[in-house]
Structure 1
Amino acid sequence: MDLWFFALLLVVLLLLRVPVAFAMILPSMIYFTSHGLSAGYAMTSMLNGINSFPLLAVPLFIFVGTLSNHLGIATRLYDFARALLPRLPGNLAFVNLGTAIGFSWISGSALADAASTSKVQIPQMLKAKYPYGFSAGLTASSSLLSTVMPPSIPAVLFAATASISTGALFAGSVLPAALMAVGLAVYIAIWVRLHPEITGSRPFDVRMLGTATVRVLGPALLPIIILGGIFSGWFTPTESAGVAAAVTIVLGAVYRTLSWATFWKAAKETVIMSGGILLIIGASNLLGQVLAREQVSRGLGEWLAGVTDNPIVFLLLLNVLLILLGVFLEAPPVILVLVPILMPIVSGYGIDPVHLGVIMIVNLMIGSLTPPVGAVLFVVGSITRRPMGELFRGILPFLVPLFGVLLLLTLFPQIVTIVPTMLGL
């Protein structure tokens, strides 16, 4: 009865739009008080959830993404992609995707990617007579690569919560992110073929490509430093995030786009975003204490064992649950609450934790792109200031290749595990 009341109160608070962290803290505190546990014990549980060295990577990666945003790195990537693909039919659509791929190696946040690229690319595509639904849908869907491709903030949170190697999860995310990019590219090619009136091609300019290449060399260092340092064993993920932040500051100074005002604005945004995430982490640890006391993992595991003993069927059922949660909630609270419950269960099914991590992240990102509440959609809609119905209709075709990739990842775990295995992670 206690657990049902707890769950009902949590759902009601979420439906009332209470911030997720406080929606988890209030029922947890009531539960603790009703069971004779002190508020001090609850606060200690929250602080213990935050007291983790790997979690230091979260604010550092957020800082790299926000500062890169303010330094105009997305614009540099856009100019390079456009100079590289001038004669390709529908080149602006492929430039959009190429920019998102480049920015995904730096940002780690789909919301940051969607915000920065929407300002640059959607106006250019509308000017070239691309329909708004296609332009905005492509920008929103390609921004998901930033959260799947390392460095991924949800991957850091999953690895810290599941007590697995962040480097292994980063390595396991590379091929899935590449498949997502390929799926979107295939859809773009089909769409362009069906709309021959949209060309946008122009003569190849060697000088323009040379200039754009020089301008993008600095940003290209960031993924080399982040991933090269992690996979070579030179840095831990946390250390690589710190080095990447320092390199980003140096790039801003070299490009003369860094000022005290820009630095302060990026730092302020980082503090706000990191504070929100860390509060959710502490609240999730408190919630996890309640679920552990009520033996939710054991009960859910026994129920699932009665439903199916097939790991693929289990993952398919999990996909449905995660998509629904991703529509209404952002990735961090879902990961932080569900991972402690799921880890004992997936071990019984023989599922690799890295495979589970990638599946969870891809599911939640697709959920954030799914109408009517997806967070990425509202970021793009708020920037373009167009009716949300147009964006909802525009995004639906892009969900087809993304769901196709998700199905492949579910059925063939080797896609996820092959790179970590080759790297010995």
Structure 2
Amino acid sequence: MELALLLGSFIGGLIIGIPVAITLAVSSVLYLLYMDIPLVVMPQKMYAGIDSFVLLCIPGFILAGNLMNNGGITERIIRFANAGVGWLRGGLGLTNIAASMLFGGVSGTAVADAASIGGMMIPGMKRAGYPGDFSAAVTAASSTVGPIIPPSVPMIIVGSLSGISVGKMFIAGAIPGLLLGGGMMITCYILSVRRNYPRQPWQGWGELARSFGTAAWAMAMTGLIVGGLLSGWVTPTETAIIASFYAFFVGAFIYRELPIAKVPSIVIDSAISSAAILALVGFANVFGWILVSERIPQFITESVMSITDNKILVILLINLILLFVGMFMETIAALIILFVPLLQLATSVGIDPLHFATFAVLNLMLGLTTPPVGVCLFVCGSIARLPLAPLVKAIMPFLLTNLITLFLVSYIPALSMWLPSVLMP
């Protein structure tokens, strides 16, 4: 009965549109009251959930991304991407994807990518003759690359939950991120050729060199982050702090588009965003503790193992579970609730924790572009001023491409394991 109350109130809250963090909190409180457990457990478990040094990465990377975004990074990245691929058929769509891949190395979040890139690219693509649904679909689909290419907020969450090295996870996401972006660029080009979408004239090697020169400072942040982690001189948290100072320096003194007077408001906005994420982490930790006390992880493992212990089929079942959950639940909440139980299942059949973590994060990123709770779809739809239905239809080719990438990463461990083994043995 108590489990039905917990899950029923949680699912009911999601159905009627209550924010995930509040739904987690309400469901947990109802369970504690029903079981006559002192409510003091709530703040204790919330504090335990966020009392992790590695979670300090989140405010640092969010602040770094906001400083760079307000300092002119988005325009320069789009200019460089446009100079490189804009001359191909469907060039603005390819530019959109390429810009998301480059921007992903700064923001670490898909929603920030969709809002920043989409705010410029969707109106521009529509003016150039691209259909609005295609423009929004390309933007939403490509925004999922951001949390795969380092830095990545979901990977930081996973590291805090499991003890897996955040640095290794960042490196493990590099090749899958490139595969994801490359697959979407191929899909975009094929659709553009078939539908005869416009192309832009070649702007010349001079423009390519100039645009690279202006965007190099922004793209160097990814090199700074990865280089710091590989050197072993700094922790991920210290890397995030260094990235924030670097972002401030570049925006204020190199690009000169970041007014000093605006920095306090950027810090406040970043603090609010970080607080929202950490509150979600805290509430989800209470919910997860309840699930563990009810032996749900063991139940999931035993149920799947009673069906099959074949590694290939277990990977398929894990992906199907995460894809289904990702359609209805916010990524971070899903990770906190499901990652540890599914990690236990994965390791029981011989899946490496780092490999599992990589394809689990990639899987849940796809949920940001699937209805009914596809946050990036809603963001891009609001920018394009379109309802959800045409966007869902337009994004299907990209979603299919991303699913193919997901299963390649799931069944070929070397795609996520090789680079960390070479760079961080």
Alignment TM class, shorter chain as reference: over 0.9
Q: Structure 2: which 5+ residue stretches go unaligned? A: none
Name the SS of the counterpart of 1:390 in structure 2: helix
CA shift for structure 1 position 203: 4.3
Question: Could you report, residue by residue, the CA deviation over 1:183-219 in whole angstroms, capped at 9, with x for unpaired residues?
Answer: 112112212332346222234251x334322211211
The residue identity in structure 1 corresponding to 2:340 is: P
Task: Specify the alignment match of 1:420 in structure 2.
Answer: 420
Which blocks of at least 5 consecutive residues in structure 1 are unaligned?
Answer: none
Structure-2 residue corresponding to 1:353:
353
**Counterpart contact for 1:149–1:177, Cα < 8 Å:** yes
- Partners of 2:316 and 2:34 lie apart in 1 by 37
- 1:63-102 equivalences in 2 (<5 Å): 63-85=63-85, 87-102=87-102
Q: Which amino acid aligns with 1:212?
A: S
Residue pairs, 1:242-321, within 5 angstroms: 242-254=241-253, 255-321=255-321
Aligned-partner residue type, residue 138 of structure 2: L
Aligned length: 424
Give the Cα separation in 2 of the matches to 1:146 and 1:136. Answer: 16
Q: Which residue of 1 aligns with 2:31?
A: 31
In the alignment, residue 234 of structure 2 is paired with which amino acid? F
Shift of 1:41: 2.8
Aligned-partner Cα distance in 1 for 2:122–2:23: 36
What pairs with 1:107-126 in structure 2 (closer than 5 Å)? 107-126=107-126
| Ranges of 4+ aligned residues in structure 1 off by more than 4 Å | none
Indicate the SS of the match to 2:112: helix
Provide Cα deviations, 1:281-316, integer angstroms capped at 9, x if missing partner.
111221122122211112221111101101221221
Give 1:170's aligned amino acid. F
**Aligned partners of 2:230 and 2:424 also within 8 Å:** no
Question: Aligned in 2, Cα 1:303/1:80: closer, same or farther, shift over 3 Å?
Answer: same
- Per-residue deviation at 1:37? 3.0
Corresponding residue of 2:230: 231
CA contact (8 A) 1:89 1:201 kept: no
Aligned residue identity for 1:171: I
What is the distance in 1 between the residues matched to 2:188 and 2:127? 18
What is the 5 A alignment of 1:137-216?
A: 137-196=137-196, 198-204=198-204, 206=206, 208-216=207-215
Q: Partners in 2 of 1:91 and 1:12 — Cα distance?
A: 44
Q: Secondary structure of 1:147's partner?
A: coil
Task: Give the aligned partner of residue 394 of structure 1.
Answer: 394
Find the aligned partners of 1:19 and 1:134 in 2 and give their Cα distance: 29
Equivalent residues of 2:176, 2:409 under 8 A apart: yes
**Comparing 54-63 and 82-91, the one that deviates more:** 82-91
* AA of the residue aligned to 1:144: T
Q: Is the 8 A contact 2:114 2:379 kept in 1?
A: yes
Asked whether the 8 Å contact 1:225–1:244 carries over to 2, the reply is yes
Structure 1 distance, partners of 2:351, 2:199, is 46
**Which one is further off, 390-399 or 83-92?**
83-92
Deviation per CA, 1:266-290: give whole Å up to 9, x if none: 2232122211111111112211221
Q: Report how far residue 260 of structure 1 moved.
A: 4.2
Secondary structure at the aligned position of 1:106 is classed as: helix
- CA spacing shift, 1:372–1:12, aligned 2, 3 Å: closer
Q: Distance in 2 between matches of 1:257 and 1:365?
A: 32
- Deviation at 1:391? 2.0
Provide the rounded CA distance (Å) in 2 between the counterparts of 1:422 and 1:202.
Answer: 38
Q: Deviations over 1:378-406 (max 9, x none)?
A: 01111222333332222111112111101
- 1: distance between equivalents of 2:203 and 2:292? 63
CA displacement at 1:67 relative to structure 2 = 2.1
Q: Distance in 2 between matches of 1:155 and 1:86?
A: 32
- Identity score, percent: 33
Pair 86,38 (structure 1): closer, same or farther in 2 beyond 3 Å: closer
Q: What is the Cα deviation at residue 120 of structure 1?
A: 1.5
Stretch deviating more after TM superposition (102-111 or 132-141): 132-141
Structure 2 CA distance for partners of 1:259 and 1:323, relative to 1, 3 Å: same
| Cα distance between partner residues in 1 of 2:326 and 2:67 | 27
Please show how residues 45-60 of structure 1 align to structure 2 within 5 Å: 45-60=45-60
User: How many angstroms apart in 1 are the aligned matches of 2:85 and 2:382?
Assistant: 29
Residues 65 and 109 of structure 1 are in contact (CA less than 8 Å); yes or no, is this contact kept in structure 2? no
> Distance between the aligned counterparts of 2:203 and 2:44, measured in 1?
64
Q: Is the 8 A contact 1:76 1:215 kept in 2?
A: yes
